[in-house]
Amino acid sequence: MYTIYNRDLETNLPRDKYKNIQMKNSHKISAREARTNFAELINKAAFGKEVIAIQRHNQVVAYVVPPEFIKLIEDYEDRMAIEQGKNEESEPWGKVKEELGLV
Instruction: Determine how β-strand 59-64 pairs with β-strand 27-30.
Output: unpaired
| Residue 52 host element (H or E) | strand 52-56
Q: Which of 13, 30, 22, 31 is nearest to 50 (CA)?
A: 22
pLDDT tens-place string over residues 24-72: 546 899 999 999 999 999 998 888 888 899 999 999 999 998 888 888 8
CA dist 77 and 22 (Å) reads: 19
| pLDDT for 69 | 85
What pTM was computed for the model?
0.56
pLDDT in tens, 4-22: 444 444 455 555 555 555 4
Q: Which domains does the chain have, with CATH numbers?
A: 7-99 (3.40.1620.10)
